[in-house]
């Protein structure tokens, strides 16, 4: 028994061929999107750890080493399974300003392509106690000095 003739012609078997051509592109697109999401998460994890390190290291009496240690702890908690080759440094810090830099490698979802390098650098002023040897001054620059004296 012959199959009925259709106006579109004979197209048996064309669907598997189309899927064989389209599916690899769809899979590559999905893996690329997942890689972008992983890169964004890895970047966020690196910045979060660098910010935590600066927040801890700039406190009064803290050292840059305290900030680096805090950044390493946060990086281990947040990005331990996502980031490899993690390093934290405080190079470039001065006595007035702390700088924490986090370098890492994000995992790759695409076979044969190495992970994307992620870098985050955050800096902030170090809190320290200062005194004004000239006394306090008001907004027009006149010294306030001792409040117990008489008015001019």
Q: What pLDDT digit, counting tens, does each position of 97-126 carry?
A: 999 999 999 888 777 778 889 999 999 998
Q: What is the pLDDT of residue 78?
A: 86
- pTM of the predicted protein model: 0.69
Q: Can you tell me the distance from the alpha carbon of 118 to that of 77, in angstroms, rounded to the nearest whole number?
A: 17
> Is residue 16 classed as helix, strand or coil in its secondary structure?
helix
3-state helix, strand, coil in the chain (%, to 5): 40, 20, 40
Residue 93 in this model has a pLDDT that exceeds 80: yes
Q: Work out the angle at residue 36's Cα, subtended by the Cα atoms of residues 34 and 40, and round it to the nearest 5 degrees.
A: 115
What stretches of the chain show up as alpha helix (H) in DSSP? 14-57, 64-79
Q: Is the dihedral of CA 141, 129, 91, 41 positive or negative?
A: negative
Q: What is the pLDDT of residue 151?
A: 45
Residue 133 in this model has a pLDDT that exceeds 80: no
Q: Can you tell me the distance from the alpha carbon of 84 to that of 103, in angstroms, rounded to the nearest whole number?
A: 9
Higher pLDDT, 32 or 141: 32
For residue 3, what pLDDT band results from cuts at 50, 70 and 90? low
Q: What is the pLDDT of residue 147?
A: 43
Residue 148 in this model has a pLDDT that exceeds 50: no
Q: List the beta bridge partners of residue 143.
A: 137
Q: List the beta bridge partners of residue 102.
A: 88, 120
For residue 135, what pLDDT band results from cuts at 50, 70 and 90? low
């Amino acid at each position: 028994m012959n199959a009925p003739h259709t106006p579109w012609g004979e197209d048996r078997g064309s669907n598997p061929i189309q899927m064989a051509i389209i599916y690899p592109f769809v899979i590559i697109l999905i893996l690329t999107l997942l890689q972008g999401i992983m890169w964004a998460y890895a970047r966020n994890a690196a910045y979060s750890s660098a910010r935590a390190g600066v927040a801890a290291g700039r406190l009064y009496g803290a050292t840059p080493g305290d900030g680096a240690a805090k950044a390493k702890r946060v990086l281990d908690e947040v990005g331990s399974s996502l980031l490899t080759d993690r390093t934290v440094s405080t190079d470039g810090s001065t006595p007035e300003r702390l700088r924490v830099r986090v370098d890492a490698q994000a995992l790759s979802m695409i076979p044969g392509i190495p992970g994307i390098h992620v870098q985050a650098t955050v800096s902030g002023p170090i809190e320290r106690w200062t005194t004004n040897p000239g006394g306090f001054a008001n907004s027009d620059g006149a010294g306030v000095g001792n409040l117990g004296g008489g008015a001019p």
